Amino acid sequence: MDFSPEHNYFFRVSDCFALLPEIWGGWEHEYIDPNSATTTLGAGATSITDTYRVPGIAQDRAVLGAGLTTIIKNKYEVYGRYDERLWDGGHLSQFSLGLSVKF
């Protein structure tokens, strides 16, 4: 089995199966003012514009995550990822699963 070069730190379980652990970190900045945003609702010739507060989201957040990808026959990848966004006074946790097929 010929694994592609971008998989530098995989653990080969068999000739057809490998595991690729991943960790990442970063920083996000929200350019939209989190204290107010404008939305417009339109129906026919009438529209309503309103300003509302987006609670609990800071403009700057640290992003940390970990994931595990299974590589099957160098064609299929099944992955699970966990992301955590941290800011002063709050956090957001997110988990995702996915499948990738290469043609």
Output the six-digit token pair for 84: 């955590």
Question: pLDDT (tens digit, 9 = 90+) per residue, 76-100?
Answer: 999 999 999 999 888 999 999 999 9
DSSP-assigned states of every residue in 4-21: -TT-TT-EEEETTEEEEE
Question: pLDDT (tens digit, 9 = 90+) per residue, 41-59?
Answer: 666 666 666 665 555 567 8
The neighbouring-strand residues paired with 56 are none
Lowest-confidence range among 9-18, 31-40, 47-56?
47-56
Burial class, 48, CB count within 10 angstroms (exposed 0-12 / middle 13-18 / buried 19+): exposed
Phi/psi of residue 36, nearest 5 degrees: -160, 145
Q: What is the pTM of this model?
A: 0.64
